[in-house]
Amino acid sequence: MDGTQQELTEAITQAIHGEELASTTACDICAQPLDINTPVQYDVMRFSSEAKRRLPFSSHSWIADAARCDDCTIQALGPTTQWLDEALIKVNVTESGGIPLIDCTDIRIIDVSPSNDGYGPPMVDLGMVYRRSDFGLFRWMRVREALRRNPPSSFEWCVLRECVNQSDDVPPSVSRLIS
């Protein structure tokens, strides 16, 4: 592991090791139960300096954004979003007092996207971010997955469609979902 990879591993570990999972321990993509007896794939993210200047509520460290069940695992990030450092990792989940926690003892980094890579950020409905407490909606991958998951007649799908329509730099895999 080179110095940069080691620094990234340490930064992610310091930020998310011991973080609680949702009490349901469900996949954030399809809502199926996670098998916490095996390593779990996670999307993690960190806002860049540019995002921090424009978004006063953005986090300054890595955030565990989305847990993925075995059916929703991916091999690479995409589409990625500028202003966000994104990483795809695999970690163990342990329990303490019945509470599932992220265990980065044996963290494995699968893919990384720096904040200067990808498409310009989506024009996100801040009310939806606050209501859902979901900073992942600033990522094109999560917008695409939410559009796929929700029926076009749903309120969330309609709000996301408007966000996509107001965005300047839309990934083709997202624009196809709303055409």
Give the pLDDT confidence score for residue 57 in this predicted structure.
63
Taking the model in full, what pTM does it have? Answer: 0.90
Domain count, the chain: 1
Task: Name, of 47-56, 129-138, 156-165, the range with top average pLDDT.
Answer: 156-165
Tokens 């940069």 sit on residue:
4
32-82 pLDDT tens trace: 999 999 999 999 999 988 887 777 666 678 999 999 999 999 999 999 999
Confidence tier at 98 by pLDDT (50, 70, 90): confident
For residues 72 and 109, is the Cβ–Cβ distance under 8 A?
A: no
d(Cα 2, Cα 177) in Å, to the nearest integer? 39
d(Cα 111, Cα 77) in Å, to the nearest integer? 7
> Which structure tokens are listed for 150?
């929700």
d(Cα 81, Cα 93) in Å, to the nearest integer? 27
Report CA 37 to chain centroid distance, whole Å: 22
Range of the domain at 142: 3-178
64-74 pLDDT tens trace: 999 999 999 99
